[in-house]
Every structure is written in structure tokens, then in C-alpha cells.
Amino acid sequence: MTGPCRSNEDWHRKADRTGMWMDGLLVDQAFSDEEIMSLLGSHHITMADDIRISPPYYVGYYIEAEESRFQQVSQSINSSETNISFSDAGMWEFIPPVIRHQGNNILVPAFLATGPGMNQTMTYRDLVDRGIPVKKARIVEIYDLQARLSPADREGLLRELSRDDRVLFSFKEYLEGVMCEYPP
């Protein structure tokens, strides 16, 4: 018997086995399209893989704070209503390392939500005004890798991209509609 997955864990396990995710990465907002294509080309990813580059939307944000301040920022995010979080319970899974060190700074991917009466721009501005060191990244989504690489090879490529200093973070975006199998 197949049907909707009963939990996010079931959904992710099934999608991991079948390769039902989209591959993606976050890069610095200042990267040009040409720099992004050069980066991807150095990992044997080409325009034939249907690459889409976009500004942030829910995903595509990160926190950058000095190590000495990071714990305070993290506690502030977790203890107040800020419309930003370090986890997404469903669609995205970042590939380790999800905590990056750059000099004296720590970088961690974050998810931005909108609230009643606040669009994404207003929410971002509110976070900055509160002193939360949130940054924007460019999102690079690669749609057709599953046509030429196995799930294991794609995961290996995402791990390789995660280790590239030009990449902030790499991720899987799990596709909706994955059916799970359950005994009758």
C-alpha cells in the first residue's frame, strides 16, 4: 500500500532512496551569474543541467556573527518572535557543514518567514533593525542532475560543493508528492 508519507522523516528517507530532491546551493549575494557558472563548471555542472539562480525566498538567508556573539544571537532568535529560524521541518536539508567558520565569524543557514501584515522585505528589515545579523544569499537550483547522476553521486556532489570555499551552503530541496509504502 502506498500513500502520503506519515512524517517528514519517512518522506526524506523515501526521497533519499529514489533521488526525489532538487540540488541547490547558496552563494554570496555579490556573486555574478558568470562567477556562479564558473563555480559550477569547476564541479562539472553545466547549463545543460537546467540551472536557475534567484534571490532568497524563505530559504536563502544566513546568520553571520562573530564567534563571541553567536551564542547571544542564537538565543535571541530562539527566545523571541523573530520570523527567522535555524531549521525547516520539511522541504530543505542542508548538507554538512551547516556551521561554517570564516575568520572570526560563524555562518549558519536560516529560514525567513513572513507574518501577518509583513512581506519578506519588511520582515528582513525588521530583523536587521533588531540587530540580528541576517544576510541574503543567491540561491542556485540545479534541476536536472537526477537525469544523469545516481542519488549517491548527487549526494557526493553536494558534499563536494559544501567543501568549496566559494559555496556558503549546499542543500537538498525535497520534492512534494513522494509516496511512501506501508504494510496494509
Residue 137 inside a domain? The answer is yes
Residue 1 inside a domain? The answer is no
Residue 184 inside a domain? The answer is no
Q: Residue 89 has what pLDDT?
A: 67
pLDDT mean by block of 10 residues, the chain; 184 residues: 84 92 97 97 91 94 95 84 80 93 95 83 90 96 91 96 97 89 76
Residue 144 inside a domain? The answer is yes
DSSP secondary structure string for all residues of 122-155: HHHHHHHHTT--EEEEEEEEE-SGGGTS-HHHHH
Domain that holds residue 145: 8-48+58-173
Amino acid letter, residue 158: L
The tally of domains found in the chain comes to 1
Residue 181 inside a domain? The answer is no
Residue 113 inside a domain? The answer is yes
d(CA 160, CA 23): 12
Q: Residue 182 has what pLDDT?
A: 79
Q: Residue 184 has what pLDDT?
A: 72
